[in-house]
């Protein structure tokens, strides 16, 4: 499978897969970057693939959803961390790329933590809009780069 097709398949799975786990409500925490694999030789990838900006936007949306869904006690709240880990595993071929993806997730997480301290109608509306935006972005990436 081509790299773009694999990435698009992962993107589709990340956002479009059914949410099945029941997460316990707890205080949301940002994602920690995964440990770099020491055996890997450094790979130069200054700009990343052509879909890098959309991928970073998707990671930011996932961070926002991780915060908002946990804040509002969504049953799939912790799934967003697992989905982000899967995205980093699939797309984070270099330490710099993993760092950019993690930073985008944390940026989205922190942005909503500054203004949403409790679950309100506005929090739920923002969550619904972000989920719709993420789904549309995921579909666009999969259709354009899915091969």
Residue 23 within a domain: no
Is the backbone of residue 142 left (phi > 0), alpha (psi -120 to 50) or beta?
alpha
Residue 7 within a domain: yes
* Inter-CA distances, 26 with 30, 31, 53, 103, Å: 13, 14, 31, 22
Residue 59 within a domain: yes
Of 60 and 28, the structure prediction assigns the larger pLDDT to 60
What pLDDT, on a 0 to 100 scale, did the predictor assign at position 85?
Answer: 93
* Inter-CA distances, 34 with 37, 96, 120, 127, Å: 9, 12, 32, 26
Encoded tokens for 68: 């908002």
Residue 141 within a domain: yes
What pLDDT, on a 0 to 100 scale, did the predictor assign at position 131?
Answer: 94
Residue 91 within a domain: yes
pLDDT tens sequence across 84-114: 999 999 998 899 999 999 999 999 999 999 9
Encoded tokens for 88: 């980093």
Residue 122 within a domain: yes
Query: What is the rounded distance in angstroms from the CA atom of residue 44 to the CA atom of residue 2?
Result: 20
Residue 102 within a domain: yes
Confidence of residue 3 (pLDDT cuts 50, 70, 90): low
CB 60 within 8 A of CB 104: yes
CB atoms within 10 A of CB 135: 14
Residue 35 within a domain: no
Check pLDDT > 90 for residue 4: no
Task: Give the largest CA-CA distance in the chain.
Answer: 48
Q: What percentage of the chain carries pLDDT values higher than 70?
A: 67
CB 1 within 8 A of CB 146: no
Owning domain of residue 86: 3-16+49-145
What pLDDT, on a 0 to 100 scale, did the predictor assign at position 145?
Answer: 85
Check pLDDT > 50 for residue 5: no
Total domains, the chain = 1
């Amino acid at each position: 499978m081509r790299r773009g097709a694999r990435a698009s398949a992962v993107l589709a799975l990340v956002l479009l897969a059914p949410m099945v786990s029941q997460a316990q409500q707890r205080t949301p925490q940002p994602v920690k970057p995964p440990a770099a694999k020491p055996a890997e030789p450094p790979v130069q990838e200054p700009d990343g693939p052509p879909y890098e900006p959309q991928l970073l936007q998707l990671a930011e949306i996932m961070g926002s959803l991780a915060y908002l869904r946990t804040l509002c006690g969504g049953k799939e709240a912790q799934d967003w961390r697992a989905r982000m880990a899967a995205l980093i595993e699939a797309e984070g071929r270099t330490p710099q790329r993993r760092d950019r993806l993690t930073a985008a997730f944390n940026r989205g997480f922190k942005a909503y933590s500054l203004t949403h301290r409790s679950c309100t109608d506005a929090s739920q509306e923002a969550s619904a809009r972000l989920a719709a935006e993420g789904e549309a972005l995921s579909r666009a990436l999969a259709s354009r780069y899915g091969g």
